[in-house]
């Protein structure tokens, strides 16, 4: 226990590493559909603000205008009542018009959401407690590959995400690129996304999915077609064999300890499927579904005590010595 605490002591140093803000925001938009959604949001919010102000002006006026005293409350001025009736009818008619405008506007933006093209890139995303499994499809089945919690997409191309819930309901949401869509067991969904600008966009599960709903983030990295192709080629290849002695020792430990029973590292005997594929884990920006930036230190911290960092997740605490921990983290960090 004390050893575990000691191992954790370098954690605070990791926290400020990821600096850039506003990368998961419906107001900071870089995807085709998110851009039009933002326009809609601004239009609707502005209209509603005007409506609210008008109501408040009427209310304040009603309260502050000079009132005749009302000794006999039941006596009502008929002329006043008629004028008020006209005012109320006009106000209701205005409400109906605003509402109709919103409904029509909403209908057309809804239709725009579901447009799909022919050369769309299809990516299958499965939501699991509490990480994302991402499958890319190549021209042939051997070109397919799997990764986790990080999705690379080419800029300017429509991506069709096939969304499948494998355990409970999750929701796929990258606010800077598009609205959300649920992943529901037994009901596959689709979501079309197009990034207009290169960048790294954070997404997060938006449907309550159990203990670690809060730590179920992922990243979408939009890059040029050339960079994307380069990345995809690298991802297709099996894992690199360790070159230095420490990483080689780490590989041995990884394969002989419980790690390999759940995780897969293509090109080795590790073929587990119940946990994220680690073939190129070193190349990913984050580990633990957006928990920490990938460094050797964060990998070591994560392996040393996953249940303190992300309580309730499915990674067990595997007892490792200090040396074992160092070499395993060296090995994983080397899996670029």
Tokens 């590493």: give the residue: 17
CB-CB contact of 128 with 167 (8 Å):
yes
**Which one among 257, 268, 296, 297 touches another protein, defined by CB under 8 A?**
257
The reply on whether position 13 binds another protein by CB under 8 A is no
Q: Would you give the binding string for another protein spanning residues 67-106, x where CB under 8 A is met?
A: xxxx-xxx-xx--xx--xx-xx--xx--xx--xx-xx-xx
Q: Shortest gap between Cβ of 158 and another protein (angstroms)?
A: 17
Tokens 């000079």: give the residue: 66
Q: Would you give the binding string for another protein spanning residues 196-235, x where CB under 8 A is met?
A: ------x-xxxxxxxxxxx--x------------------
Q: Shortest gap between Cβ of 65 and another protein (angstroms)?
A: 7
Considering only residues 22-51, where is the footprint of another protein by CB under 8 A? 22, 24-27, 34, 36-37, 40-41, 44-45, 48, 51
The reply on whether position 115 binds another protein by CB under 8 A is no
Asked if omega into 179 is within 30° of 0 (cis), the reply is no
Task: State which residue, 1 or 226, has the beta carbon closest to another protein.
Answer: 1
- The closest of 327, 289, 324 to 309, measured between CA atoms, is 289
Considering only residues 151-190, where is the footprint of another protein by CB under 8 A? 167-169, 171, 173, 175, 178-182, 184-187, 189-190
Gap between the Cα atoms of 280 and 331, Å rounded = 11
**Which one among 117, 138, 267, 316 touches another protein, defined by CB under 8 A?**
316
CB-CB contact of 304 with 6 (8 Å):
no
The reply on whether position 297 binds another protein by CB under 8 A is no
**What is the total count of residues that contact another protein (CB under 8 A)?**
113
Which residues are bridge partners to 194 per DSSP? 158
Task: State which residue, 67 or 140, has the beta carbon closest to another protein.
Answer: 67
Gap between the Cα atoms of 54 and 60, Å rounded = 10
For residues 223-261, one letter each, b for 16 or more C-beta atoms within 10 angstroms of the residue's C-beta and e for the rest, the string is: beeeebeebbeebbeebeebeeebbebbbebbeeeebbe
Give the Cβ contact number of residue 170 at 10 Å: 30
């Amino acid at each position: 226990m004390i050893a575990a605490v000691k191992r954790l002591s370098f954690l605070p140093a990791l926290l400020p590493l990821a600096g850039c803000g506003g990368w998961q925001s419906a107001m900071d938009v870089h995807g085709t559909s998110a851009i039009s959604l933002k326009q809609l949001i601004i239009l609707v919010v502005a209209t509603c603000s005007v409506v609210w102000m008008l109501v408040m002006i009427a209310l304040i006026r009603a309260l502050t205008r000079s009132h005749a005293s009302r000794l006999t409350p039941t006596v009502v001025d008929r002329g006043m009542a008629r004028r008020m009736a006209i005012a109320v009818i006009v106000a209701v008619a205005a409400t109906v018009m605003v509402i109709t405008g919103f409904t029509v506007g909403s209908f057309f933006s809804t239709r725009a959401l579901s447009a799909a093209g022919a050369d769309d890139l299809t990516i299958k995303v499965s939501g699991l407690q509490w990480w994302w499994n991402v499958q890319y499809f190549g021209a042939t089945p051997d070109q397919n590959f799997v990764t986790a919690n990080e999705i690379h997409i080419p800029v300017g191309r429509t991506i069709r995400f096939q969304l499948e819930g494998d355990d409970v309901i999750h929701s796929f949401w990258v606010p800077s690129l598009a609205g959300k869509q649920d992943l529901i067991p037994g009901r596959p969904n689709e979501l079309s996304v197009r990034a207009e600008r290169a960048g790294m966009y954070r997404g997060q599960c938006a449907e309550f999915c159990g203990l670690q709903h809060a730590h179920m983030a992922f990243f979408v990295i939009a890059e040029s077609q050339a960079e994307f192709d380069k990345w995809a080629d690298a991802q297709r290849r099996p894992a690199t064999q360790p070159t230095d002695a420490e990483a080689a020792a780490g590989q041995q430990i990884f394969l002989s300890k419980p790690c390999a029973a759940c995780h897969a590292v293509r090109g080795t005997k590790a073929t587990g499927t119940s946990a994220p594929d680690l073939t190129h884990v070193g190349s990913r920006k984050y580990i633990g579904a957006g928990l920490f930036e990938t460094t050797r230190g964060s990998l070591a911290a994560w392996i040393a005590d996953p249940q303190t960092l992300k309580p309730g997740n499915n990674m067990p605490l595997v007892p490792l010595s200090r040396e074992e921990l160092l070499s395993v983290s060296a090995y994983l960090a080397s899996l670029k």
